Homo-oligomer: A and B are copies of this chain.
Amino acid sequence: MPNLLLTIRYDGTHYHGWQVQKNALSVQEVLQNALEDLFGKRPDVKGCSRTDSGVHANMYCVSFRAPFYPGEYHLLSALNHRLPPDIKAYACQETDEAFHARYACKGKEYIYYIYNGKYENPFLSRYAFHYRYPIDADELNEAAKHFIGTHDFAAFCSAHSDVEDTVRTVYDCRVSREGDMIQMTIRGDGFLYNMVRIIAGTLLQVASGKIKSDEIPLIIQSGNRKKAGKTLAAKGLFLNKVFYGEEIEG
């Protein structure tokens, strides 16, 4: 049975994250239903990452064994026909027998969007956190550099987590503005529970003057969740890229 690497996009608004769970609809369940309908057999789909309820993905990779491989165009057309409008696949290839979308993942890039317009925008209500007060994107970009490197990010991890090793490497973290939209991009080898949303919340506290940029290294060192900013809403968060090669560090 061929081992396939499938890449999808999804609008996470109406899903309780990636992973199958009782009493709530997940992206994994919907994808498995569509693949079962297509192949006549329910595959065990391995996702590259857990994502939280409401989080979106521009690129999300999964691997699974299929009874046969009809080629990329035929598979994607037939699969998309069976998927709802908010989940669509856009790439597929045969891969090594041992490939596992999660274990093979070298790192990920997330984007957090903050809409900085004076009034809410209906077209962004599902895709960005609204913050109406002034944001100096250059100042936040300087502050963001403090997160780059290998650190113990325990201060940037929600309490629910049962992860023991809280050391992660952030390869890049930057903030830019385009019109009223502020974009925080972060790339790393892995992320703790809510880590990106807490880093975004901490940067907003730099914008509001509640935290000074050069306090960030001290917050990291403290390992104290209470010293970092709030966890911003899931809706502003996009898994943007998944890396399987060495280009992650570039």
**Chain B: minimal CB distance from A209 (Å):** 22
User: Contact at B87–A122, with CB atoms within 8 Å?
Assistant: yes
Query: How far, in angstroms, from A26 to B90 measured CA to CA in the complex?
Result: 35
Interface string of A72-99 (1 = CB under 8 A from B): 0000110010000111111000000000
**Chain B: minimal CB distance from A120 (Å):** 5
Specify which chain B residues have a CB less than 8 angstroms from the CB of A89 in the assembled complex: 119
Residue of B nearest to A9 (CB): B122
Q: How large is the interface on A (under 10, 10 to 19, 20 to 34, 35 or more residues)?
A: 20 to 34
Specify which chain B residues have a CB less than 8 angstroms from the CB of A80 in the assembled complex: 119-120
Question: What is the oligomeric copy number?
Answer: 2
**Chain B: minimal CB distance from A172 (Å):** 23
Query: How far, in angstroms, from A90 to B85 measured CA to CA in the complex?
Result: 29
Specify which chain B residues have a CB less than 8 angstroms from the CB of A118 in the assembled complex: 90
Query: How far, in angstroms, from A158 to B123 measured CA to CA in the complex?
Result: 28
Q: Within residues 121 to 167 of chain A, which ones have a CB less than 8 A from any CB in chain B?
A: 121-123, 125-127
A121: contacting residue among B88, B121, B126, CB under 8 A:
B88
A85, A118, A123, A126: residue with the most chain B Cβ atoms closer than 10 Å: A123
In addition to A56-B123, A80-B119, A88-B121, 6 A-B residue pairs with Cβ atoms within 8 Å of each other are A9-B122, A10-B122, A11-B125, A85-B125, A88-B122, A90-B121
Q: What are 5 A-B contacts with C-beta separation under 8 Å?
A: A10-B122, A11-B122, A80-B119, A85-B122, A88-B125
